[in-house]
Amino acid sequence: MSESESLFNSGILTDERPGAIRPPCDKWKAKKSGLVIVECPQRIPCNPCATSCPTGAILPFEDINDTPVIDYEKCTGCAICVAVCPGLACFVVDLSFGKDKALYKLPYEMLPLPSKGDSVTCLGRSGEALAKGTVEAVIEPKRDKTYVIHVSAPKEFANDIRAIKVGG
Amino acid sequence: MTDISTDILVVGGGAAGLSAASEAASCGARVLVVESDLQLGGQLVKQTHKFFGSKDEYAGTRGYKIAGILLDEIEECGRGVEVLTNATVTGYYAEDKTFTVMRGEDSYSRIKARRAIIATGASERLIPFPNNDLPGVYGAGAVQTLMNVYGVTPGRRVLMVGAGNIGLIVSYQLMQAGVEVAAVVEAMPRIGGYWVHAAKIRRLGVPILLKHSIKEALGGRVVEGAVITELDDKFNPTGQERSVDCDVICLAVGLSPTTEILSHAGCKMRYVPELCGSVAERDRTMRTSNPDFWSAGDAMGIEEASAAMVEGRIAGLCAANSLGLPAKMEKLDEYWARLDHLRAGEVGEKIRSGIVKVSRGGWEACCNE
Ligand SMILES: Cc1cc2nc3c(=O)[nH]c(=O)nc-3n(C[C@H](O)[C@H](O)[C@H](O)COP(=O)(O)OP(=O)(O)OC[C@H]3O[C@@H](n4cnc5c(N)ncnc54)[C@H](O)[C@@H]3O)c2cc1C
Ligand code: SF4
Ligand code: SF4
């Protein structure tokens, strides 16, 4: 088993696969409010991302086990999917946010809850600290204790930052 | 000893049992639900995470909220459904078709029921290793009960054994409760649970060590650490060992269906590895080979709450129908379509191949006696 395969088998995305495709670069850079990034590469019986996307950007599943396919033309970066996905596998990254900084809209279900203005540590897929970020907004779209935290952090980690650590 | 009688006895008040009870009651049956625990809901009340599945099975809703939805449904049945909690069905005496139930610590009753639906769920498996009797070695179910029902953290730093969905989800819940997870060890070369559940804890820094298992627990009077070992392709230790600092060892190595009552009732049983144990043969209506007994949920094979609820509805509907009550049997096809849907994927493949081994076509004929 190759190194990258065993990493993947332990829950770390190592490359693009069906259900975990990156948005096309040019569209992504230009898109105000950002585009969705879904990292859900396994066929599982689950579909709330598709059924709750207000614009139909996550294409309707024919079979509940389908992996998500995205129409980036329709995605508004609203992050509803970020809040509803039970796998915490949807993220939005807005590259239009600033010159050097992107706005990361990440799901968060831990304690403590950060507040606007707090400095947090941005984590990669294996929990490695990548950069410091600043909390720009704390939103609870569905009022169901899954928060979407808007964090500004360096753009260069657009393909890597997927979680935050608050405090410590 | 008191005597109780009912049309349909439902043993177990989890996802399957509650769904069965409300379905049967909606057909006009008098239903009695008997539940060992102090409250209804079964495994669901401990699940603080959002569930998968489709909208019909409340996908995206947290487990304990689904329990709430089912309880509201039971409430709406009014007097159609009676409930005994803190009451355990201890046996079935086929000669006089009587169940015995222990209520609390010392009071017993006899129950006579025309039909029974066994929805007793599952029990946790444990694995042997030196010092596994030290305080601090827990099953994942106990850890969940402590944290999510009683609000008590089990310790400071946990070694999780098993990367199936339960091991992955309980690891995440431990972190939510502020407990550190030192590592998850998994004997197989890949996680057994959903990939997204693994990714969730990986990105918070928890190592998942594939082809690793626990060798022994360390400590004199309580767990003070553990030794883990790497395994080769044949699951033999390679000699690569290391110690882990932890005060809790949490075992999430699988569940087995709870089927004693079905055995008492003489239902034909069969060992099916894909369903995680010995389970009853069943027809399309979830009826067993004993024509008075139906079963549903984890008791019929370890699966998911989403499937348990649908199976429960099938059992409730068909048990009521067998009593000559006005059951809308056309719903059976719809329920099966939902089950087929849930089981269509990669993960459902195992379940499907297991179910084929215990499905029998012939008993449906006796549905309307
Ligand atoms: C950590 C974890 C995470 C899970 N996550 C998901 C998920 O995301 N999605 C999903 O769909 N499913 C999930 N499940 C699975 C789901 O919880 C179970 O499949 C489901 O609860 C099974 O329902 P059931 O009614 O068959 O059994 P249970 O919920 O176990 O209920 C059985 C009940 O029967 C009672 N009982 C047993 N014997 C007796 C007796 N003799 N007399 C009286 N009462 C008795 C028990 O006390 C229990 O309350 C998860 C399970 C666990 C442990
Ligand atoms: S961000 Fe909004 S529009 Fe884009 S996929 Fe998610 S829910 Fe749909
Ligand atoms: S809701 Fe999340 S876990 Fe479910 S299919 Fe969509 S992306 Fe995957």
What is the pLDDT confidence band of residue B367, given thresholds at 50, 70 and 90?
very low
- Is the same domain home to B310 and B354? yes
Residue B332 CB: number of other CB atoms within 10 A? 18
The residue among B235, B251, B267 that closes a domain is: B251
Task: Give pLDDT tens digits for B50-81.
Answer: 888 777 778 888 999 999 999 999 999 999 99
Is A110 touching B (CB cutoff 8 A)? yes
Asked whether residue B365 carries a pLDDT value surpassing 50, the answer given is no
Domain range for A121 is: 3-166
Q: What integer pLDDT is reported at residue B159 of this predicted model?
A: 98
**Residue B184 in contact with residue B274, Cβ under 8 Å?**
no
Report the share of chain B in percent with pLDDT over 70.
Answer: 98
> What CATH code is carried by the domain that includes residue B85?
3.50.50.60
pLDDT, mean of residues A20-48: 95
What is the pLDDT confidence band of residue B342, given thresholds at 50, 70 and 90?
confident
The residue among B251, B272, B294 that closes a domain is: B251
Nearest CB to B196: which of A47, A88, A126? A88
- Is the same domain home to B204 and B260? no
Best of A28, A51, A58 to mutate for ligand 2, by most ligand atoms within 8 A of CB?
A58
Q: What integer pLDDT is reported at residue B348 of this predicted model?
A: 85
- Is the same domain home to B157 and B227? yes
Q: What integer pLDDT is reported at residue B98 of this predicted model?
A: 96
Domain range for B159 is: 126-251
DSSP string, A35-68: EEEE---S--SB-HHHHH-TTS-BPPPSSTTPPP
Interface touch A86/B341, C-beta < 8 Å: no
Interface touch B205/A42, C-beta < 8 Å: no
Closest residue in A to B347 (Cα) is A44
The residue among B251, B281, B313 that closes a domain is: B251
Asked whether residue B155 carries a pLDDT value surpassing 80, the answer given is yes
- Is the same domain home to B187 and B213? yes
**Shortest CA gap B1–chain A (Å):** 47
Q: Which residues of A touch B54 (CB under 8 A)?
A: 45, 47, 51, 64
Q: What integer pLDDT is reported at residue B251 of this predicted model?
A: 98
Pick the more confident residue, B49 or A137.
A137
Asked whether residue B364 carries a pLDDT value surpassing 60, the answer given is no
- Is the same domain home to B25 and B54? yes
- Count of domains observed in chain B: 2
Report the share of chain A in percent with pLDDT over 70.
Answer: 99
Asked whether residue B126 carries a pLDDT value surpassing 60, the answer given is yes
- What is the CB-side half-sphere exposure of residue B67 using CA atoms within 13 A? 16
Interface touch B54/A123, C-beta < 8 Å: no
- Is the same domain home to B143 and B183? yes
- Is the same domain home to B130 and B244? yes
Task: Give pLDDT tens digits for B269-308.
Answer: 999 999 999 999 999 999 999 999 999 999 999 999 999 9
- Is the same domain home to B151 and B181? yes
Sign of the Cα pseudo-torsion (B86, B91, B92, B93, in order): negative
On average, the pLDDT of chain A sits at 95
Task: Give pLDDT tens digits for A79-126.
Answer: 999 999 999 999 999 999 999 999 999 999 999 999 999 999 999 999
Q: What integer pLDDT is reported at residue B363 of this predicted model?
A: 52
pLDDT, mean of residues A145-161: 97
Q: Is the predicted ipTM greater than 0.95, yes or no?
A: yes
Task: Give pLDDT tens digits for B191-236.
Answer: 999 999 999 999 999 999 999 999 999 999 999 999 999 999 999 9
Scanning B177-270, the segments in alpha helix (DSSP H) are 195-202, 260-264
Q: What integer pLDDT is reported at residue B366 of this predicted model?
A: 44
Rama region for B277: left / alpha / beta (φ>0; ψ in -120 to 50; rest): left
- Count of domains observed in chain A: 1
Angstrom distances, CA of residue B73 to CA of B33, B40, B52: 14, 13, 21
The finding on whether A89 has its CB within 6 A of some atom of ligand 3 is yes
- Is the same domain home to B342 and B302? yes
Task: Give pLDDT tens digits for B159-195.
Answer: 999 999 999 999 999 999 999 999 999 999 999 999 9
- Is the same domain home to B349 and B284? yes
pTM of the model: 0.90
**Placement of tokens 């897929």 in the chain:** A125
Interface touch A10/B175, C-beta < 8 Å: no
Nearest CB to B202: which of A41, A111, A125? A125
Is A165 touching B (CB cutoff 8 A)? yes
- Is the same domain home to B144 and B232? yes
Q: What integer pLDDT is reported at residue B54 of this predicted model?
A: 73
Beta-carbon contacts of residue B97 (< 8 Å; ≥ 6 apart): B112, B292
The two three-digit tokens of residue B64, written as one number: 């304990």
Asked whether residue A57 carries a pLDDT value surpassing 80, the answer given is yes
- Is the same domain home to B50 and B102? yes
The finding on whether B305 has its CB within 6 A of some atom of ligand 1 is yes
The finding on whether B13 has its CB within 6 A of some atom of ligand 1 is yes
